[in-house]
Amino acid sequence: MQSPLFSYAEQQSQERYVVQNPQLLRVALTGHDDILARKGAMVAYQGLIDFDGEYQSRNQRNARARTGEGLDLMRCSGQGTVYFANLAQYVHVVDVDQDGMTVDSAYVLALDSTLHTEVIAVDSQYGISGSGKYQLNISGRGKVALMTSGQPLMMQVTPDKYVNVDADAIVAWSSSLRVQMQAQTHSTGVWRRRGNTGEGWELSFLGQGFALVQPSEVLPPQNAQVGQGARAQYGMGQHGSHSQNQNNAWN
């Protein structure tokens, strides 16, 4: 049998994480270090691999129920090669160091089991911190595979150049950055937008680090879950379409 399809054969590499192609992640397991991956993200594997639901502590369950932010993970262990993908989104491997990384959990495909995750609240100039926008802080040393809808933009933040990003387009940023959630509004009314621009909540970043932006303000609709409380109301992250509908009603 002959076909151009055979040019897409698996890559040979000694690296633990390999981007097989822009939308497919290859992870090598040696039997020593497990990997945590998004539930249902496995598309193929070779070798002796076990898949099991990842246990969540009481604190993690409470944080998930309170904020809508968190990870639905499976633990992958054994020896062999596993391939992960989700809705043909673009895959990017990031090395997490001591500075840590903050990310919307909806964009996490896989991560080393040695990394620590914690739900945090984003500050807001309008006093909704703790009830509106939550993110996931990842700390420790290891690798994380992120997903974006389309090829992303990596923006450098420096002390003399701060960056503003649409809250529905941000994927991740350096945890060392100072961040504040704000709205493109008149000063006299936080819930009313300037004119009819379609622009609303944004995140402002200050300090030294990076902000990763995707060229899309809405994740693909499959498997997307609308969050609870203010998160759903304000349309943050993957709920951007809901945000647009809400704010059209306010204008």
Report pLDDT digits (tens) over 118-131: 877 776 444 433 33
Q: Is the pLDDT of residue 242 over 60?
A: no
Yes or no: say if 50 and 97 are a contact pair by the CB < 8 Å rule.
no
Digit-coded pLDDT (tens) for 169-217: 889 999 889 888 776 554 444 445 445 545 567 888 999 999 999 998 7
Supply the pLDDT for residue 97: 83
Per-residue pLDDT for 235 more than 60? no
Q: What is the pLDDT of residues 148-166, one digit of tens each?
A: 999 999 999 999 988 988 8
pLDDT for the residue 237: 44
What does the pLDDT read at residue 185? 53
pLDDT in tens, 59-74: 656 655 655 556 778 9
What pLDDT score was predicted for residue 244?
36
